[in-house]
A and B are shown apart, each in its own frame.
Chain A
Amino acid sequence: KAGVTQTPRYLIKTRGQQVTLSCSPISGHRSVSWYQQTPGQGLQFLFEYFSETQRNKGNFPGRFSGRQFSNSRSEMNVSTLELGDSALYLCASSLVVNRGRTDTQYFGPGTRLTVL
Chain B
Amino acid sequence: LAKTTQPISMDSYEGQEVNITCSHNNIATNDYITWYQQFPSQGPRFIIQGYKTKVTNEVASLFIPADRKSSTLSLPRVSLSDTAVYYCLVGDAGGYQKVTFGTGTKLQVIP
Contact = CB atoms under 8 A, between A and B. Distances in A.
Interface residues of A, number: 32
B102 to A, nearest CB: 8
A48 B99 CA distance: 9
B57 to A, nearest CB: 12
B: contact size bracket: 20 to 34
Nearest first, the 10 closest Cβ-Cβ pairs linking A and B are A107-B43, A56-B98, A43-B101, A48-B97, A100-B30, A102-B93, A104-B46, A102-B91, A33-B97, A90-B43
A66 interface: no
Interface of B: 30-32, 34, 41-46, 49, 87, 89-104
Interface of A: 4, 31, 33, 35, 42-45, 48, 50, 55-56, 58, 88, 90-92, 94, 96, 99-110, 112
A42 B43 contact: no
Q: Which DSSP category, helix, strand, loop or mixed, fits chain A's interface?
A: strand
A104 B49 contact: yes
Contacts of A42: 101-104
B96 A56 contact: yes
Nearest to B90: A102
Contacts of B34: 102, 104
Contacts of A105: 44, 46, 97, 99
A6 B32 CA distance: 28
Given A31-B97, A100-B32, 9 more contacts: A4-B43, A48-B98, A55-B97, A56-B98, A100-B30, A101-B49, A102-B49, A102-B92, A103-B93
A48 B43 contact: no
Nearest to B89: A102
Given A42-B104, A102-B49, A58 B98 contact: yes
A89 to B, nearest CB: 10
A55 to B, nearest CB: 5
Contacts of A58: 98
